[in-house]
C-alpha cells in the first residue's frame, strides 16, 4: 500500500461523513454524479485504489473481484448485508471486508412496522384515493382493512432487527410473537417478548397473521418464500420483507396477491432492484417502498462512520471491528 492510500467511494454519502473521510485520507475519490457504477467501473476502482467503499447494490462478485491487476486490499461495505460480495473471491484476492452492523437496527425495524400497518390498514390505497380526488366522504364500509393489535407475528430469523420488530409489535401492539431461526438466539431476547420458537418454517407459517422476513440473502435463502410456502400462509395474512429481495419468488408472490391467496404484501426490497417486476405495479394490495430500511439521516451518518471506524483500524494495522472476511 502507498503511504497516501487512495480511497474510492462508489456512491455519495451524507456530506458530514464525506468530510470526515477527507480529513482521514488525503486521496479520496467520490462518485460525484452518484450513479451506479458498472462492473467495468468497479473493476477499475479495484485496480486504482487501496480501499474501495461499496454499497449493498454494488456487485462485488467473483467476476468483479477476479479482475486482473487488482490493487485494493480493503472493502468497507456501506451496509449490514454482504451477500453482494463474494467473500471467497475477496479472500483469494487478499482483500479484507467489513460491514456496518447494529447501527441500522432500529430504523429497519421501524420500516417493518410501517409496512405491517400500511398493508393491513390499506394506507397506500387511502392516500391515493384522496390525492386522486375520488374521496366522497366517510362511510361505514369504505376501505376496510385488518386490525394489527393483538394479531400474531411470525418472524423468519430472530437476529437484531427481528428482535427489535418483536419488541415494537409485542409491547406496542400486543402481538403474539413466533419465530423460526436455524441458529439459537439469545434466550433473554426470546423471554422478553414471550416468543415461541418453531423447529421449521413450514410449521410456523400457517399460525402467523403477519410473516416478516429477517434472514440474509444469498443462494441458501434465494426464493425461500416460494409458491409452496406462500400457499401455507393464512388466508387474510400479510407478507413483509425488509431483508433481501431474492428471498421471495416474485412471480409466486404476484400470483398469490392477484388470486387472494394472501391479503397483502409490504416490500422494501426487491429481487433485481431497482428493476421492478411490472406485475407489482398492478396490485393495490402491495405496498412498495424504494429500499428505505436505513433511510434516516441519523442512521446513514452512523453507517458511514462505522465504515470509517473500520477503515481507520485497517490503516492502523489494528483488528477490524466488523470484519466479515
Q: Could you tell me which residues come within 8 angstroms of residue 212 by beta carbon, excluding any fewer than 6 positions away? A: 112, 116, 153, 154, 155, 156, 162, 165, 240, 241, 242
| Count of other CB atoms within 10 angstroms of residue 147 | 10
Q: Which residue among 125, 167, 273, 312 is the active-site one?
A: 273
244 in catalytic set: yes
Choosing from 11, 39, 129, 291, the catalytic residue is: 291
Beta strands in the chain (DSSP E): 6-9, 27-29, 51-53, 74-76, 96-98, 152-156, 176-180, 196-197, 210-213, 238-241, 264-267, 286-288
Side-chain-side CA neighbours of residue 10 (13 Å) = 26
Q: Distance from first CA to last CA of the chain, Å, rounded?
A: 19
180 is catalytic: no
Bridge partners of 225, per DSSP, are 248
Catalytic residue among 244, 300, 305, 306: 244
Q: What is the dihedral of CA 160, 166, 171, 176, to 10 degrees?
A: -160
Query: Within 13 Å, how many C-alpha atoms sit on residue 71's CB side?
Result: 16
Cα separation, 8 vs 43, in Å, equals: 12
Q: Which of 43, 44, 51 is nearest to 1 (CA)?
A: 51
291 catalytic? Reply is: yes
Q: Where are the beta strands (DSSP E) in 50-202?
A: 51-53, 74-76, 96-98, 152-156, 176-180, 196-197
CA 105 to chain centre: 10
Burial of 38 (0-12, 13-18, 19+ CB in 10 A): exposed
Annotated catalytic residues are 244, 273, 291
Amino acid at each position: 500500500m502507498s503511504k497516501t492510500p487512495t480511497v474510492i467511494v462508489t456512491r455519495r454519502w451524507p456530506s458530514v461523513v464525506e468530510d470526515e473521510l477527507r480529513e482521514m485520507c488525503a486521496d479520496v475519490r467520490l462518485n460525484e454524479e452518484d450513479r451506479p457504477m458498472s462492473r467495468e467501473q468497479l473493476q477499475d476502482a479495484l485496480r486504482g485504489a487501496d480501499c474501495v467503499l461499496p454499497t449493498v447494490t454494488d456487485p462485488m462478485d467473483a467476476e468483479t473481484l477476479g479482475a486482473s491487476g487488482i490493487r485494493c486490499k480493503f472493502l468497507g461495505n456501506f451496509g449490514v448485508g454482504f451477500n453482494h460480495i463474494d467473500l471467497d473471491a475477496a479472500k483469494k484476492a487478499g482483500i479484507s471486508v467489513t460491514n456496518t452492523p447494529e447501527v441500522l437496527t432500529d430504523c429497519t425495524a421501524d420500516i417493518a412496522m410501517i409496512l405491517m400497518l400500511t398493508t393491513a390498514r390499506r394506507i397506500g390505497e387511502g392516500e391515493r384515493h384522496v390525492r386522486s380526488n375520488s374521496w366522497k366522504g366517510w362511510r361505514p364500509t369504505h376501505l376496510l382493512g385488518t386490525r394489527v393489535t393483538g394479531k400474531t407475528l411470525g418472524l423468519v430469523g430472530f437476529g437484531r432487527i427481528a428482535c427489535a420488530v418483536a419488541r415494537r409489535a409485542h409491547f406496542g401492539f400486543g402481538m403474539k410473537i413466533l419465530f423460526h431461526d436455524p441458529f439459537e438466539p439469545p434466550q433473554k431476547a426470546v423471554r422478553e417478548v414471550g416468543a415461541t420458537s418453531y423447529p421449521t418454517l413450514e410449521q410456523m407459517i400457517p399460525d402467523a397473521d403477519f410473516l416478516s422476513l429477517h434472514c440474509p440473502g444469498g443462494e441458501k435463502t434465494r426464493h425461500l418464500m416460494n409458491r409452496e410456502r406462500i400457499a401455507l400462509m393464512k388466508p387474510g395474512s400479510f407478507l413483509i420483507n425488509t431483508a433481501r429481495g431474492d428471498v421471495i419468488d416474485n412471480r409466486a408472490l404476484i400470483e398469490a396477491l392477484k388470486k387472494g391467496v394472501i391479503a397483502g404484501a409490504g416490500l422494501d426490497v426487491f429481487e433485481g432492484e431497482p428493476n421492478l417486476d411490472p406485475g407489482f405495479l398492478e396490485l393495490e394490495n402491495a405496498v412498495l417502498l424504494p429500499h428505505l430500511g436505513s433511510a434516516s439521516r441519523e442512521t446513514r451518518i452512523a453507517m458511514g462512520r462505522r465504515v470509517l471506524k473500520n477503515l481507520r483500524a485497517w490503516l492502523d494495522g489494528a483488528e477490524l471491528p466488523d470484519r466479515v472476511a
